[in-house]
C-alpha cells in the first residue's frame, strides 16, 4: 500500500483521539474531531467528482478548518493548493486558473472575491464556504456550506494516494518574479517531515505557538511535523501585535516558537519582553531568510532558556535543507549549518564541479524532499532540477568542517563598480548597532558605479540614530567599496505576506535631488 502524508493524522488520531491538535481563542479541536471531519470532507470531494491528482485550493486563515480540509483533500487523493487569504480577485483568479483547482475552500470574506468569475474558472466545480454564505452558484460551480459538509455522516478515510503521487502545489513567495507552482509529492513531504522531527527532537507534548500562516511552506511544515508526533498547534496571533504573541506564549504554556527573522525582530522590539514568563519555551526555529548574527545574539540574550535552531530551505525542498544545531551557534555564528538527515548539500562552480572549502559557488541539494518540478513550467523545471540536483540559486561557501554559509542569492548580489557585493554582509554590520531594529541593503541605479549601495534602516523604539553613526560603524568593519552610499531611515521594510523581504522594491528607491546652493 502507498504511504501517504494523511496517514500521519490517522495514526495520531488512533493513538490520542482526545488530545488537542489545534487551539484558537479558547476553542480546542482534538485529533479525533479533525480526523472525522477530514474524512467527511474527503467523501464530499469524491462525491463531487474530484479525482486523484486533481487540485483543491485552500484560502483560509489559521483555523481548525485548515488541517481538516488539507488532510481531507489528501484522503480523497487530491493535491492541496494553499493560497494566501489576504488576496484580491485577480490574484485569486490567476492562482485558481493556473492550478486548475476543481474545488476551493474560502471564508465568507474571501468568497465574495469569486463573484462574477464563474465563467473564467473552467475547472472549478465546487466552492466550500466557511461562515455566512454570501456567494451564489454561477458559471460551472456550486456553493456548499462547509460546516454542513463536515457534520455529515459520510466519510472516506483513504483513496490509496501516496508515495510519488502529487500531494501539494505550493506557490513561491514571488519576491523577484511571478510565483511558481512547486509540485510536491507525498514522499517529498513525508521525507521533510520526518527529518525535521528527528533533528528537532519533537515529542508528543509539544505545544507550538503558531504565528506563521499555515498556507506558507514553513507553516505547512509545522503542521505536518506536529501531527507526526501528536503535538498541538496553538494559534497566538500575529507579530503585528507582539505583546499578544508574548502573552500567548506565556499563558498557553507553549514549548516552541517558529518564525522568520522579522518575527523575532518585532518581538525583540517590544520593551515589555521581561514581564512575560517564557520559561516553558524550550526551542525556537528560524528560517525564511537569513538572520544576522547580531539579531541572533539579541534573541539568545532575551530567551536564554530556549534552544535556537537556525534553518535554511526552499519551497522546492518541502522546504527544509539544513539546520545549525543549537550547540554550534557560538562557534558557527552566521552559518545555516549542515544538511538535514536524508539530504546532501554541495557547493558547485558554474561547470558543476565541487569547490574547495572557503570558495564561493552555488548550493546544490539532493534528497527525497526535492520537488517533482514546477507546475506547467518545463523550462523553469529543467533549469532548477539538474542531474547534479536542485540548483538553489543561492551563493554559498563551506568551511573546513562542512558548515554552510549563505552569501546571498544570485539575484541579490550588487554590482558596484568592478565589485560584486552581498547585501547580507553589510546588513550584519549595521544590525550590530543596538539602535537598529531591522536593516535591508539594496543596490540602486547609479550612473557612475552601475549600482550604489543603499541601507534602509528601521530604528528601535525611541532610538536616536543618524547617518554619521551608521557610517562610522560600517567604516570599522567594511572596506571602502562596501560602504553604503545612501542611508535611509524608514518606518517599515517591504515584505511579503510570509515576512520575506521584497528587496526588489528597495531597488526602485531614488535619492532626493541635490539641493541647490543659495545666491
Distance CA(184)–CA(112), nearest Å, equals 30
Using 50, 70 and 90 to split pLDDT, how confident is the model at 518?
very low
Domain boundary among 161, 194, 227: 161
Domain holding 449, by residue range, is: 413-506
- Residue 217: give its domain's CATH number: 3.40.50.12780
- 449 pLDDT above the threshold of 80: no
Same domain (yes/no): 225, 312: yes
Q: Strand pairing partners for 398?
A: 404
23 conformational bin, left if phi > 0, alpha if psi -120 to 50, beta if neither: beta
- Residue 464: give its domain's CATH number: 3.30.300.30
Strands 27-30 and 20-24, how do they pair? antiparallel
**Do you know the residue count of the chain?**
519
Same domain (yes/no): 401, 444: no
Cell 537556525 belongs to residue: 310
* Neighbouring C-beta atoms of residue 515, cutoff 10 Å: 6
Distance CA(504)–CA(423), nearest Å, equals 12
pLDDT tens string 150-179: 999 999 999 999 999 999 999 986 544 567
pLDDT tens string 419-446: 768 788 899 899 999 999 999 999 988 7
CB 470 within 8 A of CB 457: yes
Where is average pLDDT lowest: 11-25, 181-195, 275-289, 441-455?
A: 441-455
Supply the pLDDT for residue 495.
Answer: 87
pLDDT tens string 284-336: 999 987 777 888 888 888 888 899 999 999 999 999 999 999 999 999 988 99
- 514 pLDDT above the threshold of 70: no
Dig out the grid coordinates for 497 from the structure: 505576506
Q: Strand pairing partners for 256?
A: 208, 283
Same domain (yes/no): 262, 398: yes
Cα(first)–Cα(last) distance of the chain, in Å?
86
Q: Is residue 455 part of a domain?
A: yes
Same domain (yes/no): 86, 206: no
Same domain (yes/no): 389, 290: yes
Q: Is residue 317 part of a domain?
A: yes
pTM (2 d.p.): 0.84
Same domain (yes/no): 118, 48: yes
Supply the pLDDT for residue 173.
Answer: 65
Cell 541605479 belongs to residue: 445
Mean pLDDT for the stretch of residues 43-71: 97
Same domain (yes/no): 152, 190: no
Same domain (yes/no): 144, 212: no
- Residue 44: give its domain's CATH number: 3.40.50.980
- 257 pLDDT above the threshold of 80: yes
CB 57 within 8 A of CB 83: yes
The string of DSSP codes covering 205-274 is T-EEEE-S-TTSHHHHHHHHHHHHHT-EEEE---TTSHHHHHHHHHHTT--EEEE-HHHHHHHHT-TTGG
Percentage of the chain beyond pLDDT 70 is 96
- In sequence order, the 6+-apart residues with CB closer than 8 A to the CB of 476 are none
Same domain (yes/no): 358, 311: yes
Helix axes 423-430, 467-477, angle to 10 degrees: 120
Same domain (yes/no): 210, 275: yes
Supply the pLDDT for residue 418.
Answer: 57
Amino acid at each position: 500500500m502507498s504511504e501517504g502524508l494523511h496517514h500521519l493524522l490517522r495514526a495520531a488520531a488512533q493513538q490520542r483521539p482526545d488530545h488537542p491538535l489545534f487551539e484558537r481563542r479558547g476553542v480546542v479541536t482534538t485529533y479525533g474531531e479533525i480526523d472525522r471531519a477530514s474524512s467527511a470532507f474527503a467523501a464530499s470531494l469524491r462525491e463531487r467528482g474530484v479525482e486523484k491528482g486533481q487540485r483543491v485550493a485552500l484560502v483560509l486563515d489559521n483555523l481548525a478548518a485548515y488541517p481538516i480540509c488539507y488532510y481531507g483533500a489528501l484522503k480523497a487523493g487530491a493535491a492541496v493548493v494553499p493560497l494566501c487569504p489576504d488576496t484580491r480577485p485577480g490574484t485569486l483568479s490567476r492562482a485558481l486558473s493556473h492550478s486548475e483547482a476543481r474545488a476551493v475552500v474560502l471564508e465568507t470574506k474571501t468568497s465574495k472575491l469569486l463573484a462574477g468569475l464563474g465563467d473564467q474558472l473552467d475547472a472549478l466545480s465546487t466552492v466550500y464556504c466557511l461562515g455566512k454564505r454570501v456567494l451564489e452558484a454561477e458559471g460551472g460551480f456550486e456553493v456548499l456550506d462547509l460546516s454542513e459538509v463536515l457534520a455529515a455522516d459520510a466519510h472516506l478515510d483513504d483513496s490509496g494516494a501516496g508515495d510519488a503521487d502529487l500531494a501539494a502545489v505550493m506557490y513561491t513567495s514571488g519576491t523577484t518574479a511571478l510565483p511558481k507552482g512547486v509540485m510536491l509529492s507525498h514522499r517529498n513531504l513525508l521525507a521533510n517531515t520526518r527529518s525535521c522531527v528527528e533533528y528537532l527532537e519533537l515529542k508528543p507534548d509539544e505545544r507550538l505557538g503558531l504565528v506563521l500562516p499555515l498556507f506558507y511552506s514553513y507553516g505547512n511544515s509545522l503542521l505536518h511535523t506536529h501531527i507526526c508526533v501528536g503535538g498541538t498547534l496553538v494559534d497566538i496571533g500575529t507579530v503585528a501585535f507582539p505583546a499578544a504573541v508574548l502573552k500567548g506564549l506565556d499563558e498557553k504554556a507553549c514549548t516552541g516558537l517558529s518564525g522568520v527573522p522579522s518575527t523575532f525582530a518585532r518581538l525583540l522590539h517590544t520593551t515589555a519582553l521581561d514581564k512575560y514568563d517564557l520559561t516553558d519555551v524550550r526551542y525556537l526555529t528560524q528560517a525564511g531568510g537569513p538572520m544576522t548574527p547580531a539579531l541572533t545574539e539579541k534573541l539568545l540574550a532575551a530567551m536564554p532558556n530556549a534552544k535556537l535552531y537556525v534553518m535554511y530551505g526552499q519551497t522546492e525542498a518541502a522546504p527544509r535543507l539544513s539546520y545549525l544545531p543549537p550547540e554550534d551557534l557560538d562557534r558557527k555564528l552566521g552559518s545555516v549549518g549542515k544538511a538535514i538527515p536524508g539530504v546532501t548539500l554541495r557547493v558547485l562552480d558554474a561547470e558543476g564541479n565541487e569547490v574547495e572549502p572557503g570558495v564561493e559557488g552555488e548550493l546544490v541539494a539532493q534528497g527525497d524532499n526535492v520537488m517533482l518540478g514546477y507546475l506547467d513550467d518545463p523550462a523553469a523545471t529543467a533549469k532548477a532540477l539538474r542531474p547534479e540536483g536542485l540548483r538553489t540559486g543561492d551563493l554559498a561557501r563551506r568551511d573546513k568542517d562542512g558548515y554552510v554559509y549563505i552569501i546571498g542569492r544570485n539575484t541579490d548580489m550588487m554590482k558596484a563598480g568592478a565589485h560584486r557585493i552581498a547585501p547580507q554582509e553589510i546588513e550584519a554590520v549595521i544590525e550590530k548597532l543596538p539602535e537598529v531594529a531591522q536593516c535591508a541593503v539594496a543596490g540602486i541605479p547609479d550612473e557612475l558605479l552601475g549600482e550604489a549601495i543603499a541601507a534602509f534602516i528601521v530604528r528601535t523604539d525611541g532610538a536616536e540614530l543618524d547617518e554619521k553613526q551608521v557610517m562610522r560603524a560600517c567604516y570599522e568593519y567594511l572596506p571602502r567599496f562596501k560602504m553604503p552610499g545612501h542611508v535611509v531611515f524608514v518606518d517599515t521594510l517591504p515584505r511579503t505576506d510570509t515576512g520575506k523581504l521584497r528587496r526588489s522594491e528597495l531597488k526602485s528607491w531614488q535619492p532626493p535631488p541635490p539641493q541647490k546652493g543659495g545666491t
